[in-house]
Amino acid sequence: METGFDTVLKGGRVIDPATGRDGVFDVGVKGGKITAIEPQISAPATETIDATDKVVIAGMIDTHGHIYQHVTGKFGLNPDMVGVRSGVTTIIDQGGPSCMTLGGFRHFLADTSKTRLFCFISAYLVGGLEGHMYPDLYGPIGVNPEHTIRVGRENLDIVRGVKAHAEIGGQSRWGLEVIKVGKQISRDLGLPLYIHLGQLWPSVEEGPVPDPDELIRELVPIMDEGDMLAHPFTRHPGGFVSETGEVHPIVFEAIERGVRVDVGHGSHFSFEVAKKVLDSGIKPFTLGADMHGYNVTVPPEGMQKEVRESNPFFGVAPFNLTVAMTELMTLGMSLNDVVATVTQNPASVLGKSDELGSIAVGRCADISVLEIINGRFKLSDNSGVEVVTDKLVRPVMCLKDGERFDADSPLIPDPVLA
């Protein structure tokens, strides 16, 4: 029997791939938990939120964040700016903390942020310390598997995977030896290995020029079921698409073996490559935004519109997870499939499917509310390619453990009309 609620979300379209629910429902929240999902809730509530014409989904999970603010230099963005203030209730920091810096990540971020935080611990001692500038720090002398395994085991509540890089700049220096160490760490921890694809560093001048296609062929056999390949839509060498313009056959083999694909949008996204990969039948399992201080600009207070208009391409302007969702829909993925990439699927990556990723009675009240605006909107990738879409997904608000956060992050871009 209904006895009253802290919050009721009224009349939204509830989409929950985990349960197959897709329809108009009221959602009642009490004590930080979801306590009712009904066609209509009439019991009183401390706060009633009109969700008419909105989409109500489980709290969004961003599988690729860089939010170890201050410690990782310009890379680290404020976690709540990327998180709850952008309608995202949970973030996985990809490789920011290492065995040497995980304590700070826990104490200063995971224990204090409103956003729920996890991490994939770096396979490298330096973690995410602006490593794109210092490739030598990511070589064999920069890993200590014993220390990383020990720290990972001591912190399995927040460490949910291992991050490593596979790209031709590193391959030209050390082959795949460091990746093999990362795989050893992940196996000993019983956690997935998340691998960056796409060139980061220039190749060394001595020796043969590395073959980007050979990298993916050597890499995939190392991976296990549940491991993740990031940046499938990268415009950089060493990704899913070969130098001849075809998707590597071995990628299909990897997916058949249970290797998962994360978009890892970041500076890597290309509409051309994305269409080619999607048309081949490969769909991303999760949608990580991969925002960091080198690919988004936080505009000064009150200047968001001006910054967006003067810098129209992603990479120098605001961007958020729902823009990436819009892009996948524009490329042909259904709304329900896209919702799964930010709810049900990342919850399974975290090993938290019984807690997160679904709107169900008894779950923690992590809920994201979105609006889908109709019109003509301009999207841009890092190559300068522009695409016009007729729908734009934007965050409205979220509840994290029942606490309300309006989507007011400066990283949410204003719509660019076509």
In the 8-state DSSP scheme, what is residue 101? Answer: T
Q: What is the number of residues in the chain?
A: 418
**Three-class SS state of 267:** coil
Q: Angle 319-322-323 (CA atoms, 0-180°, nearest 5)?
A: 50
Q: Which two tokens stand for residue 175?
A: 């082959």
* Single-letter amino acid, residue 324: A
Q: Where are the alpha helices (DSSP H) in 68-140?
A: 79-82, 102-104
Is 64 labelled a binding residue? yes
CA distance 266 to 322: 13
CA distance 282 to 373: 27
* Single-letter amino acid, residue 100: M
Report yes or no: 255 and 225 within 8 Å, Cβ to Cβ.
no
Is 107 labelled a binding residue? no
- The position carrying tokens 């909105």 is 54
Is 248 labelled a binding residue? no
Report yes or no: 376 and 390 within 8 Å, Cβ to Cβ.
yes
Is 290 labelled a binding residue? yes
Report the DSSP pairing between strands 260-262 and 33-38: unpaired
Q: Tell which residue, 140, 118, 117, 119, has the closest CA to residue 128.
A: 119
Annotated binding site for Zn(2+): 64, 66, 163, 196, 231, 290
Annotated binding site: 64, 66, 163, 196, 231, 290
